[in-house]
């Protein structure tokens, strides 16, 4: 797409929106300005291409399409079939997967589809067998009670939250924690790395139905071959949530033992983050789980979002291009350069560095909580998010860590030299921020002090750093 075409497309869209609700148009324009001027270091965010963004704003948004390709509960879905089939084809080819289901609206939805697919495939009970062969309305109360009890008493083993796991891996605030009897494996308290012998020991003791691999804030590679061996040793289904690092798998940075697709029975992912697509989810699986996965709608999903599936098809097509592999490698190179820049300035990093796209800073060395550090950095034009560290004394709300990632800045074109400059800006802010106190004089985990002049100076430096790497250079809204 030419730059003139991009500008025309987005300007025209905003003009149409402004005619109905100008405040929405203004907010959209302001968001672009904010993203252009801020150092976006949230590890789970990226910048989708103009083609991907435009694929979401069209008439597919108006279409209901419950069911799957060729088997819809609504008429007139032939064009939806085309884009869903294309997205699934690109996903299979990109990841070398036997089956791809591209309907999930988010990573949480993808995980729910996977969990229920495994439950339906693995749990053997008279009530479940009746449910599979009879109409739901024909089940007696006793059958329903037995079914709920059987499905709700299954066991899941996954990474603990403070070690880098995710809420959707069986923790109580999420529905998965109400579905499963969950136990966690952590990391070595000295190194912060996964201890596979301890995972195996926990699996032998707990005997889970599902062993979950994958993470939200673990800065190292995971050996999925070993985890599959552990799952097999106890008869568990091995599921991997690769939402964060799917782009590194797609770009062939993670291969062999570190590519989950050949090893897992079922893999879930988001389609944004390092994959650089629209916000959405996806499930990849072995053939034996395909039928259950394809029942995601109406099992746990509402109607598919055809306009988002169209955008997934575009983004996955982009990821199959040769230059995506170069992009994926630069993500890791940048993350490692950012980690080195922080370490050289005295920062403490969980595991001492990174193998992937993210870096986890323990900000307690600066005398701060994660919440204080997050806000001080935001005041200075640096967008991050607070995150727990292993054995975090401040819990999951205030935290002791800051999680940063490089997918978005790598999309803009920044390289390793700019990562060192970014490390300097982060270090400057954190060293000049002091923890505040509550009204009664007790230490506060939220309040902090940072000189406004320094924050403004760092924000200007961040904007200057980004000036050479314009965001969406083909989009001019003026």
- Are the CB atoms for 98 and 290 separated by under 8 Å? yes
Helix%, strand%, coil% for the chain, nearest 5:
50, 15, 35
Active site annotation includes 273: yes
Catalytic-role residue among 68, 187, 270, 271: 270
Active site annotation includes 66: yes
Active site annotation includes 270: yes
CATH class of 59-123+154-319: alpha beta
- The dihedral built from the CA positions of residue 308, 44, 166 and 229, taken in this order, carries a sign that is positive
Backbone angles phi and psi of 459, in degrees to 5: -60, -40
Q: Which CATH entry fits the domain spanning 323-467: 3.40.50.720, 3.40.630.30, 3.90.1150.10, 3.40.640.10?
A: 3.90.1150.10
Active site annotation includes 279: yes
Active site annotation includes 63: no
Active site annotation includes 183: no
Catalytic-role residue among 37, 45, 64, 457: 64
Cα separation, 168 vs 158, in Å, equals 10
3-state SS, residue 288: helix
Backbone angles phi and psi of 383, in degrees to 5: -95, 115
pLDDT of residue 170: 65
pLDDT of residue 2: 58
Catalytic-role residue among 18, 45, 63, 66: 66
Could you tell me the residue ranges of all domains in the chain?
59-123+154-319, 323-467
In this structure, what token pair is assigned to residue 17? Answer: 């929106």
Cα–Cα distances in Å, from 151 out to 8, 180, 378, 418? 53, 8, 44, 51
In this structure, what token pair is assigned to residue 361? Answer: 């800073």
Catalytic-role residue among 63, 155, 183, 279: 279
pLDDT per residue, tens digit, the chain (478 aa), is 555 899 999 999 999 999 999 999 999 999 999 999 999 999 999 999 999 999 999 999 999 999 999 998 899 999 999 999 999 999 999 999 999 999 999 998 999 999 889 888 766 555 555 555 445 456 677 766 666 666 666 888 998 878 777 767 766 677 766 777 888 898 999 999 999 999 999 999 999 999 999 998 999 999 999 999 999 999 999 999 999 999 999 999 999 999 999 999 999 999 999 999 999 999 999 999 999 999 998 888 888 999 999 999 999 999 999 999 999 999 999 999 999 999 999 999 999 999 999 999 999 999 999 999 999 999 999 999 999 999 899 998 999 999 999 999 999 999 999 999 999 999 999 999 999 999 898 999 999 999 999 999 999 999 999 999 999 999 988 8
Q: pLDDT tens for residues 53-65?
A: 999 999 999 999 9
């Amino acid at each position: 797409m030419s730059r003139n075409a991009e500008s025309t497309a987005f300007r025209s869209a905003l003009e149409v929106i402004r005619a109905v609700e100008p405040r929405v148009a203004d907010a959209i324009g302001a968001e672009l300005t904010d993203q252009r001027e801020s150092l976006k270091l949230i590890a789970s965010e990226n910048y989708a291409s103009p083609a991907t963004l435009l694929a979401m704003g069209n008439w597919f948004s108006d279409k209901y399409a419950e069911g799957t390709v060729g088997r819809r509960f609504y008429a007139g879905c032939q064009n939806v079939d085309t884009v869903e089939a294309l997205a699934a084809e690109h996903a299979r080819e990109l990841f070398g997967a036997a089956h791809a289901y591209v309907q999930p609206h988010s990573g949480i939805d993808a995980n729910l589809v996977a969990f229920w697919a495994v439950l339906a495939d693995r749990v053997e009970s008279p009530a479940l067998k009746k449910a599979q062969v009879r109409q739901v309305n024909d089940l007696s109360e006793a059958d329903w009670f037995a079914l709920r009890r059987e499905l709700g008493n299954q066991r899941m083993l996954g990474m603990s939250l403070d070690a880098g796991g995710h809420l959707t891996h069986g923790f109580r605030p999420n529905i998965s924690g109400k579905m499963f009897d969950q136990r966690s494996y952590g990391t070595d308290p000295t190194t912060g790395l996964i201890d596979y012998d301890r995972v195996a020991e926990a699996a032998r003791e707990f005997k889970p139905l599902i062993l979950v691999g994958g993470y939200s804030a673990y800065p190292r590679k995971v050996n999925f071959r070993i985890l599959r061996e552990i799952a097999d040793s106890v008869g568990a289904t091995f599921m991997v949530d690769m939402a964060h690092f799917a782009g590194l798998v797609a770009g062939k940075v993670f291969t062999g033992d570190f590519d989950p697709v050949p090893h897992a029975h079922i893999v879930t992912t988001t389609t944004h983050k390092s994959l650089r697509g629209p916000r959405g989810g996806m499930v990849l699986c072995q053939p034996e789980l395909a039928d259950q996965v394809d029942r995601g709608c109406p099992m746990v999903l509402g109607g598919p979002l055809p306009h988002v599936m169209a955008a997934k098809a575009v983004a996955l097509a982009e990821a199959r291009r040769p230059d995506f592999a170069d992009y994926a490698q630069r993500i890791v190179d940048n993350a490692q350069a950012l980690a080195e820049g922080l370490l050289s300035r005295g920062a403490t990093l969980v595991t001492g560095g990174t193998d992937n796209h993210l870096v986890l800073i323990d900000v307690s060395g600066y005398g701060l909580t994660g919440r204080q550090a997050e806000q001080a950095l935001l005041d200075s034009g640096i967008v991050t998010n607070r995150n727990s560290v292993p054995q975090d004394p401040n819990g999951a709300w205030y935290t002791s860590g800051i999680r940063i990632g490089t997918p978005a800045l790598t999309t803009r074109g920044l390289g390793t030299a700019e990562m060192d400059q970014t490390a300097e800006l982060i270090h400057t802010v954190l060293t000049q921020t002091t923890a505040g106190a509550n009204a009664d004089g007790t230490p506060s985990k939220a309040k902090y002090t940072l000189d406004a002049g320094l924050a403004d100076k760092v924000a200007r430096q961040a904007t200057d750093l980004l000036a050479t790497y314009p965001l969406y250079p083909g989009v001019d809204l003026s």
